[in-house]
Amino acid sequence: MRWTQQLIPTLREVPQEAEIASHQLLLRAGLIRKLAGGLYTFLPLGRRALRKVEQIVREEMDRAGALEILMPAMHPQELWEQTGRFAVLKDVMFKIKDRQERNMVLGPTHEEVATELVAHEVQSYRQLPLNLYQIQTKFRDEIRPRFGLMRAKEFIMKDAYSFDADEAGVERSYRAMYTAYERIFKRCGLRTKAVEADSGAMGGSASHEFMVLADAGEDGLVECDACCYAANLDRAEGLHRGPREFAGAELPPAVVPTPGRRTMAAVAAFFQAPPARLIKTLIYLADQQPVAVLVPGDREVNELKLQRVLQATALVLADDATIARVTGAPVGFAGPVGLPLRIVADEKLQGYRGAITGANQPDAHLINVDLARDARIAAFADLSNALDGDSCPRCAAGRLHARRGIEVGHVFKLGTKYCTALGAGYLDAAGVRQTPIMGCYGIGVTRTLQAVLEQSRDDHGIIWPISIAPCAVEVLPINVQHAPTLQAALALTAALEHAGCDVLLDDRDERPGVKFKDADLLGLPIRVNIGEKSLAKGVVEIKLRHNGSLTAVPPEQAPAAVQACAQELWAAVAP
């Protein structure tokens, strides 16, 4: 493959639209171009890499016994109404009408369609288990598309749906997918971490996310340094460390003027107290009803947890006017003592004495608060996010560490919700009608591609794992006007291609510097420099992108030497 006959528009400068490294590299290396926010064209090299990721996914899904199908991207809206998910997901769905004015949606995911298929085609336990998957474009009207392919309105996803006769079967299917995912990401050259996750809008019981650890990741997670516990911050159950009793525990509450101190930091500084000694009081509207929520001053409320505890369908922070009305004080001075509201408290506050809270009057706080003595708490529950340094909820010894991650895969156990709603059933061996138990398993294919770049790069550009590199080798003739150089390059390219190697020949009549810089930016794993000087010494140079190692070999030995390098690189991404 010749550079001059390709479309590889590399960019010398960083496009101002791109913030994170992987997004910049996608654009600079000429892999993608933006059409509009959240909508991207894959250019030839980007498409080649994407295809390789898809193929790895396909091979591993097949290996795990899943069956590839292809479902429509466009669905009748009615199907979504049948499971009740239209109401849940209508804001993220693109809605269109056909010429008959029928309501259609573009699928953000395919549980309904897959289940509908199974409802029609599966009648007997002999047909189970069944695992159907597809690799297809999904559409989501994201609130905020971001970071290039990371959060796009249109993206390629591998989605699989398993149907089993019983719980043991679901467990096997789930495990098979979990293992397949580990193999897939390993083969893509990614270091991932599987974390316990919330099942969100999917519903269902168990769920794990596969996270690519990266500072640019959108998700928070914690992992234990002693055992294998790891969880998404949405669900992580960090255990409180540190004191619950503070100075003044025995004293009655006392009002202290704190003019203008309305933030945790300001109040903590005012009292010269650690933020953990403060109790943060937030007023939420749970289905329109005001509720007070208490968490330690150094923690954030976890709204997912809160929503579950309150069993609320709509949960929002109360507006300033409501807060003033129910607490009798402006924002920043709410506290649990004497507050005429339902109060729920984070379990980490249990036994808090000598704490500091708002006084429910303007510009004042209360000290010496003993939560059990001075306030009426309706319920204690886990309502806050875990914090770096918390104790591990699984093992006594470990401490949790906070990390950032990119969610590239997600596996769920879904139960019978969809099958029941859509009438999927089968007859068991005894002739009794049963409902299949479902699991679903997603991989963001386009996002995975970008995650690789986020994790595998240096200051000069991309460092492709050989398994998904657009090409394995770049042949770089330093001066194409020097006939012997070009000839040697052509010969090597032909030999490698004949051996089944993907090769990019940079046949541009450009300055060496330009070609070297582009080669580093593009980041193909193996590069062969061919130039007049080394040729005069009877050698060409093989340079590996990932470690910069340079070996000189005679031109006639180059194909074999390159193959040997390639073999080593492949071994590094073997599952």
Span 440-479, contacts to RNA by CB under 7 A: 442-444, 446-447, 460, 478-479
Quick check: 512 and 477 in contact, CB under 8 A? no
Binding status of residue 15 toward RNA by CB under 7 A:
yes
Interface residue with RNA, options 304, 402, 501, 573 (CB under 7 A)? 304
Least gap, CB of 270 to RNA (angstroms): 26
Estimate to the nearest angstrom the gap between the alpha carbon of 169 and the chain centroid.
27
The token pair that represents 159 in the structure block: 């989605």
The token pair that represents 332 in the structure block: 């920043």
Task: Report the residue number, 11 or 561, with the smaller CB distance to RNA.
Answer: 11
The token pair that represents 290 in the structure block: 């005001």
- CA distance between the termini of the chain: 29
Residues 142-181 that bind RNA (CB under 7 A): 142-147, 150-152, 155, 157
Interface residue with RNA, options 521, 524, 553, 565 (CB under 7 A)? 521
Interface residue with RNA, options 68, 123, 511, 567 (CB under 7 A)? 511
Q: Which stretch binds RNA (CB under 7 A): 7-15, 98-106, 262-270, 463-471?
A: 7-15
Interface residue with RNA, options 6, 14, 402, 561 (CB under 7 A)? 14
Quick check: 290 and 326 in contact, CB under 8 A? yes
Residues 539-568 that bind RNA (CB under 7 A): 541, 543
Binding status of residue 51 toward RNA by CB under 7 A:
no
Interface residue with RNA, options 48, 128, 518, 525 (CB under 7 A)? 518
3-state SS assignment for residue 315: strand
Torsion of CA 399, 402, 407, 412, to 10 degrees: 40
Task: Report the residue number, 99 or 144, with the smaller CB distance to RNA.
Answer: 144
Spatial separation of the C-alpha atoms in residues 531 and 486, rounded to whole Å:
9
3-state SS assignment for residue 425: coil
Q: Please tell me whether the peptide bond between 129 and the residue prior to it is cis, using omega within 30 degrees of 0.
A: yes
Task: Report the residue number, 255 or 514, with the smaller CB distance to RNA.
Answer: 514
Least gap, CB of 125 to RNA (angstroms): 29
Interface residue with RNA, options 311, 313, 481, 547 (CB under 7 A)? 481
Least gap, CB of 434 to RNA (angstroms): 27
Task: Report the residue number, 336 or 444, with the smaller CB distance to RNA.
Answer: 444
Binding status of residue 525 toward RNA by CB under 7 A:
no
Q: Which stretch binds RNA (CB under 7 A): 275-283, 290-298, 418-426, 535-543?
A: 535-543
Interface residue with RNA, options 389, 512, 554, 575 (CB under 7 A)? 512
Residues 96-115 that bind RNA (CB under 7 A): 109
Residues 116-135 that bind RNA (CB under 7 A): none
Number of residues that bind RNA (CB under 7 A): 71
Task: Report the residue number, 151 or 342, with the smaller CB distance to RNA.
Answer: 151
Interface residue with RNA, options 13, 314, 429, 547 (CB under 7 A)? 13
Task: Report the residue number, 19 or 556, with the smaller CB distance to RNA.
Answer: 19
Residues 184-213 that bind RNA (CB under 7 A): 200-202, 209
Residues 490-509 that bind RNA (CB under 7 A): 509
Spatial separation of the C-alpha atoms in residues 439 and 508, rounded to whole Å:
51
Spatial separation of the C-alpha atoms in residues 84 and 414, rounded to whole Å:
15
Binding status of residue 140 toward RNA by CB under 7 A:
yes
Q: In which residue are the tokens 């005012």 written? A: 270
Residues 310-369 that bind RNA (CB under 7 A): none
Least gap, CB of 16 to RNA (angstroms): 3
Spatial separation of the C-alpha atoms in residues 15 and 21, rounded to whole Å:
11
Quick check: 467 and 52 in contact, CB under 8 A? yes
Interface residue with RNA, options 456, 520, 558, 559 (CB under 7 A)? 520
Q: Which stretch binds RNA (CB under 7 A): 32-40, 115-123, 388-396, 431-439?
A: 32-40
Task: Report the residue number, 20 or 422, with the smaller CB distance to RNA.
Answer: 20
Binding status of residue 219 toward RNA by CB under 7 A:
yes
Least gap, CB of 463 to RNA (angstroms): 13
Query: Which amino acid does the sequence have at 529?
Result: N
Task: Report the residue number, 19 or 78, with the smaller CB distance to RNA.
Answer: 19
Spatial separation of the C-alpha atoms in residues 344 and 445, rounded to whole Å:
41
Quick check: 105 and 80 in contact, CB under 8 A? yes
Q: Which stretch binds RNA (CB under 7 A): 124-132, 401-409, 490-498, 562-570?
A: 401-409
Spatial separation of the C-alpha atoms in residues 143 and 553, rounded to whole Å:
54
Least gap, CB of 499 to RNA (angstroms): 23
The token pair that represents 473 in the structure block: 């080798």
Residues 255-284 that bind RNA (CB under 7 A): none
Binding status of residue 243 toward RNA by CB under 7 A:
no
Q: Which stretch binds RNA (CB under 7 A): 221-229, 262-270, 512-520, 565-573?
A: 512-520
Query: Which amino acid does the sequence have at 429?
Result: A
CA 300-304-305 angle, to 5 degrees, is 75
Query: CA nearest 151: which of 39, 41, 57?
Result: 39
The token pair that represents 238 in the structure block: 């960090």
**29: how many CB neighbours lie within 10 A of its CB?**
25
Spatial separation of the C-alpha atoms in residues 340 and 479, rounded to whole Å:
82
Q: Which stretch binds RNA (CB under 7 A): 30-38, 93-101, 348-356, 420-428?
A: 30-38
Task: Report the residue number, 132 or 519, with the smaller CB distance to RNA.
Answer: 519
Burial, 193: exposed, middle or buried (Cβ in 10 Å; 0-12, 13-18, 19+)? middle
Spell 401-414 as b/e; 16+ CB within 10 A means b. ebbbbbbbbbbbbb
Least gap, CB of 412 to RNA (angstroms): 7
The token pair that represents 188 in the structure block: 């893509």
Burial, 570: exposed, middle or buried (Cβ in 10 Å; 0-12, 13-18, 19+)? middle
